[in-house]
Amino acid sequence: MLTEADVPKTIPMPFHYDAYRFTDPERIDAIVDSFPLALVISSDGLQPHANHVPLFRCAGSRDLFGHVDAANPQFAGQRRIRARIVFVGPDSYIPPEAYVTRQLPTWNYVSVHVSGVIDVVTDLTHKLDVLRETAACLQPEDAPYQFDAQDERVQRFAPHILALRIRVEHEEARIKLSQDKSPADQHAALEHLLATRSRSPRRLLETFLPPAESVERAQHA
């Protein structure tokens, strides 16, 4: 079994702009809880890997958990991986006209960067625990779907996933909201970011799916 000595150490690299760097756990947790789809970055020798994985905070701990497809090449055949994990929240280009005073354009964003060690778990009981914990994070108690380890769909699915347990070694929020500007400009930039977020991406996303009309015809055929 791999030990910590088998996983090369990396030195956390704090953000180079102190004004945009935050380490208080409550605000970091709020971002992770609101935007749990993380980008997990690691390397296998010279081969870099990056995959999007929903990750959640372990109860009473700074650690994280999640699960992935067992065929995912970043994790398949691995026991322990050192990784950089990035949670990304809202972002937007801020044009000069969004500000109250005369400013140059910029890009504002919200993110959390985490460094840690991922244990890749193949034990079925542990995988079922992770599926149960994931459902508990996402499904309200009165939701129609509730996790049931005896559900035949779960029993078919569980053997084909890997559970991830992540020991967090370093974490920080990187929040760029025009803090280098006046308070009036900061809030003006925030209003622009929020307005941009409210614009529907429907037209773009529908290009990846069959036309809705063809789906409706097929359902009534």
Give the pLDDT of residue 15: 72
Q: What is the pTM of this model?
A: 0.87
Give the pLDDT of residue 46: 84
Give the pLDDT of residue 101: 97
Q: What residues of the chain score a pLDDT lower than 70?
A: 1-13, 215-218, 220-221
Q: How far apart are CA 101 and CA 188, in angstroms?
A: 10
Q: How far apart are CA 212 and CA 53, in angstroms?
A: 28
Q: Are 133 and 175 in contact (CB under 8 A)?
A: no
Q: Which CATH number do you get for residue 18?
A: 2.30.110.10
The pLDDT tens digits of the residues spanning 65-104 come to 999 999 999 999 999 999 999 999 999 999 999 999 999 9
Give the pLDDT of residue 2: 45
Structural domains of the chain, count: 1
Q: Which domain holds residue 47?
A: 4-220
Give the pLDDT of residue 220: 65
**Sole residue written with tokens 């004004």:** 19
- In angstroms, how far is CA 107 from the centroid of its own chain? 20
The number of C-alpha atoms within 13 Å of 35 and in the hemisphere containing its C-beta is 19
Q: How far apart are the first and last CA of the chain?
A: 56
Q: Residue 72, class by beta-carbon neighbours within 10 Å (0-12 exposed, 13-18 middle, 19+ buried)?
A: middle
